[in-house]
Structure 1
Amino acid sequence: MEIAFDPAKDEINRQKHGISLARAVDLEILGFQADDRFAGETRYRAWGLIDERAYCLAFVQLEGASVPSAFVERETRRSDVMSRKIVFDDDNPEWTEQDFRTARPASELPPEILAAFPNTKQRGAQIAPTKVQVTLRLDRDVIERFRKTGKGWQTRINEALKKAV
């Protein structure tokens, strides 16, 4: 499976959004929507990460290849959105709260599509769960201190609690 695109469409996407369609292969898909209202083909809208930055990708599956039509970096903070001119794209509109609520996990994508996105993690059910999900209230300063340490801060809280018991 591969990512295939028209070079002219790639140039338009570069000029409009500042990113090449070729970077779609680097996307770690976290969620997607499928829409089959388009002339017998399913159009996918996926969102995910590249280097911890949010992106949205619109693509179709044609003749054994994933063919992107639009690829856009999305801002993750309201202040980022407010401080720059927003480029609207009918092929790949901003995701709404409703879109996120109805999105399906990447694990539900067909295997031939997942093959085109090697950075998308495949996670199955735990065979023997080693952790238990809980709701826990902690002081704000404790949470802020761990969050400042970056990605994986929840794991570091777990490690600190293990050392304490």
Structure 2
Amino acid sequence: MKTMTLDDLLKNPLTENDKKIIANARPIATEDCPEQTDEQLKQFKPWYEVHPKGNDIYKVSVKKTAVSLRIDNDVLAALKATGKGYQSRINNILRKAVLG
């Protein structure tokens, strides 16, 4: 299964075959999956933290390097306004931009 972002979908619209596959897909049974509380969701960790050595499918390095860089004030203010964890969001934005 491939996950697509809206940007991916806009750049590469679904083909008629893709639409047929989606239309004929069976729904996922979720009755055995209880709803998670906000408190439980806060305890979730990213996959790469749970599996730091990764595997052949996902090669993820959890090592980080401290850097100093200059960011426009308005960009930094917008990121900080989104709340705690803005530095991780910056990393995720850079990861997506560089690695796709």
Question: What is the TM-score of this pair, normalised by structure 2?
Answer: 0.36
TM-score normalized with structure 1 length:
0.22
The structure, 1 or 2, with the larger RCO (C-alpha pairs under 8 Å, 6+ apart) is 1
When you count helix as a share of all residues, which structure comes out higher?
A: 2
